[in-house]
Structure 1
Amino acid sequence: MHWPITLPTSTPEKYGKEDRTVRDPDWNFCDTWREMEKLLETGKVRAIGVANFSTVNLEKLLRTCKIVPAVNQTEIQPLLPQEKLNAFCSQHNIHQTAFGPLGGSGSTLHENPVVKRIAEKRGCSSGNVLLSWGVRKGWSVIPKSINPVRITSNLRDCFEMNGQEVEQVDNLVEALGGKRFNVPNWGTTVFHDD
């Protein structure tokens, strides 16, 4: 389930053009999850998960679900480490997948001197530093790129970060401040943990 919200039923022609702030008052994400749980019984699905769920929404889901989500895909990057959410997911054995681990549109993380120094020392790109940081934290990382060279580099050049390097990247949020790059307007609070 990609968002903890309910959008109106759509037709292919109208998809993506609806008013995102309109909700179905008789349906919520717990109802959707209940239907997703039924998919496991078919044997066609091995695991189900969520995306963009905060601790508040996960707590709500866990009160009613039979099956705990296998994964929560959220924006996680050095300026949005989501420590409270990660601790909650770890406590409930929900794997975290980092969407946007390189930052997003307008991100200057690639140009940060700390990131560039580690990249130079390791002989890789700054993107590989950011991906390696996420992997070292225990998350799956899913960078977005349409550049074939970057895609190949992302797959090939990750490395095992040492504790000092992790700490240096961890400290970026204190030095630069927190920043979320993925902020759609759903007309309701979705991100409770920032």
Structure 2
Amino acid sequence: MSVPSHFKLNNDVSIPAVGLGTWQAKPGEVGNAVSHALKSGYRHLDCALIYQNEGEVGDAIKGSEVPREEIFITSKVWNTHQTNVAEGLAQTLKDLQTDYLDLYLVHWPIRLIPNETSQLLPSNPDGTRSVDPFWNQKDTWKQMEEVYKSGKVKAIGVSNWSIPYLQDLEKTWEIVPAVNQVELHPYCPQHALKQWCEDKGIYLQAYCPLGSTDSPLLGDSEVAAIAKKYDVSPATILISYQVNRGCIVLPKSVTLSRIDANLKVIALGKEDMDVLEGLAAAGKQQRVNTPQWGHNLGFDDWFGPGNVNAPKK
């Protein structure tokens, strides 16, 4: 049994199964990480305007001498650009020093209204996020379809979208999203969302596949037992889990040895996949990324048991 190195999106675009995540990669670190990753064989980079490091990523790509057409580059339209997707795309293309993206995503199903507090993360006087409750995400998607038709992006998709949001978007979409990038790991497997998306030909992409700094995933005894069985690290098991279940995976690191190690994917037996698929249901459900938008995003497990980021009563 082998695991795929690439997946074929619903418009026949080929995407590498493993990509380098650049979220929370600091200036001065992300360029070195990208340069090393490209030398090590990565051909998939996951970026976003809100990460505020796309300029450094672009410099690293340019300096890598890897032909642009060999690199799959993803970016995301930020919440404050939802009224003008083309403007957000233009900024990203300029920063990444490229004429096109391979994949462009709607970062969140939330529009923020820029104001004097910030052009990216604006706040209201009471400290809450400046969310536009009247903005229709169908209008954002219409613009995404237009930039796709322009040829400046080879595929379009969404990020952090739940089933209710997708069901609403389905009523008017002309182009089915190719991807939905969400938090995925054995403590947050999102089985129902995965099935819904698969039925529509939408791939899930896994961010935070290793959990986070404070997540117990890498020290989980059942993950460790499977890692010992295959004589690999727990990280390899967690990354391989996603590819084995048919999801694209985006491990992030700025540590060069871990970048190398995270490219390794192995085939997992059914009994081991069953264990990993059942960890959340066995009481370990947990998320590591739940920003407070002051808006219900439609995830039933958004504030599941054990979530350290759940709002305090």
In the superposition, the TM-score normalised over structure 1's length comes to 0.92
Of residues 181-190 and 18-27 in structure 1, the stretch that sits farther from structure 2 once superposed is 18-27
Q: Number of aligned pairs?
A: 192
- For 2:93, the equivalent position in structure 1 comes to none
Partner of 1:104: 212
Contact conserved, 1:84 with 1:193, CA < 8 A, in 2? no
Query: Matched residues in 2 for 1:97 and 1:133: separation?
Result: 12
1:37-186 equivalent positions in 2, closer than 5 A: 37-155=145-263, 157-186=264-293
Question: Match for residue 15 of structure 1?
Answer: 119
Q: Report the RMSD for the aligned CA atoms in angstroms.
A: 1.7
- Deviation at 1:49? 0.4
| Paired residue type of 2:146 | K
Is contact 2:158-2:179 (8 Å) kept? yes
TM-superposed CA distance for 1:48, in Å, is 0.5
Match of 2:80 in 1: none
Letter in 2 for 1:92: K
Q: Which has the higher contact order (CA 8 A, sep 6+)?
A: 1
Deviation at 1:27?
A: 2.6
Measure the CA separation in 2 of the matches of 1:170 and 1:24: 37
> Given the alignment, which residue of 297, 306, 312 partners 1:190?
297
> How big is each residue's C-alpha offset from its partner over 1:144-165, in whole Å with a ceiling of 9 and x where there is no partner?
212111110011x320011011
Paired-residue identity, %:
38
On the 8 A contact 1:21/1:188 being kept in 2, the answer is no
Question: 8 Å contact 2:114–2:120 — kept in the other structure?
Answer: no
Tell me if structure 2 keeps the 8 A contact 1:101–1:143. yes
Q: Is the 8 A contact 1:79 1:178 kept in 2?
A: yes
Q: Using the TM superposition, give the Cα deviation of residue 39 of structure 1 relative to its aligned residue in structure 2, in angstroms.
A: 0.8
Question: Could you tell which deviates more after superposition, 119-128 or 135-144?
Answer: 119-128
TM-score w.r.t. structure 2 length? Answer: 0.58
4+ residue segments displaced more than 4 Å: none
Per the TM alignment, residue 171 of structure 1 is displaced from its structure 2 partner at its CA by 2.3
Q: Output the CA distance in 1 between the equivalents of 2:173 and 2:277.
A: 34
Q: In structure 2, how many angstroms separate the alpha carbons of the residues matched to 1:81 and 1:147?
A: 26
Deviation, structure 1 residue 141: 0.6
Structure 2 residue matching 1:49: 3-state secondary structure: strand
CA distance in 1, matches of 2:174, 2:224: 45
Residue 232 of structure 2 aligns with an amino acid whose one-letter code is C
